[in-house]
Amino acid sequence: MSDKEKPSVSDIAAMIDQTYLKTTATKEQMRHFCEEVKQYHFGVLAINPYWVPFCRELLKETPSKISASVGFPLGANTVAVKVFEAVDSIKNGAGEIDFVMNVSALKCGDYDTVAAEMRELARACHDRGVLVKVILENCLLTDAEKEIACKMAVEAQLDFVKTSTGLSTGGATVADVRLMRRVVGPGMGVKAAGGIRTYQDLLSLWEAGATRFGTSAGVAIMKEALAREGK
């Protein structure tokens, strides 16, 4: 750890995107996750678009936002489909959008498509007052490809670059967060997601430069943080 002051427990809660993206999610499970968001004051509940109206109703009296996952988990949709899905999710109550970058297009050198989806999603979300994050899926990219994607995200004026869906071959790493922070500079958000299970995991990624954390283990992290603070 460096000399910078550790985030407080309330700061940690605000930086957590409590995540539930399982294919088999039920109303009872989604209701349970919404109750956890209320109890621990998480900044965001990250879910699939189908659940946005249901969860928005349950969280309507709270300041917590809902983030819808767009083009999830493969990112291989067309630009138009991703934009439609984002706008539809916003109409249904999403206050943030996390979309998966077209990894195939990037690897093929089709930078025009990657730039277009970043640009069009930034426009669609920002015109509606909504933050937008691009999921790079770093475990499938070379360091050079990560840098290219981060530079394109800056050019498109996205709000965050994000490490992972959590459903591919790897999740957030300190090395990737450091790379992303170096490339995007201090002004853009960096979201670490995938494999964040403990308070120490979160602190290590925060130290590396992450400003948001996607995890389904938010409650366990908060309990550990509270215990360490003697609360």
Radius of gyration of the chain (CA): 17
Considering 82, 162, 176, 201, which one is annotated as catalytic? 162
Strands of 101-225 (E only): list them. 131-135, 160-162, 189-193, 212-215
Considering 17, 98, 159, 201, which one is annotated as catalytic? 98
Considering 17, 176, 191, 201, which one is annotated as catalytic? 191
For residue 147, how far is the Cα from the chain centroid? 18
Residue entry with tokens 């990037």: 106
- 107 catalytic per annotation: no
Contact between residue 74 and residue 107 where contact means Cβ atoms under 8 Å apart: no
- 4 catalytic per annotation: no
DSSP string, 17-45: EEEE--TT--HHHHHHHHHHHHHHT-SEE
Residue entry with tokens 């946005």: 52
Which residues neighbour 50 within 8 Å (Cβ) at sequence distance 6 or greater?
none
- 143 catalytic per annotation: no
DSSP state of 162: E
3-state secondary structure of 87: helix
Q: Which residues are catalytic?
A: 98, 162, 191
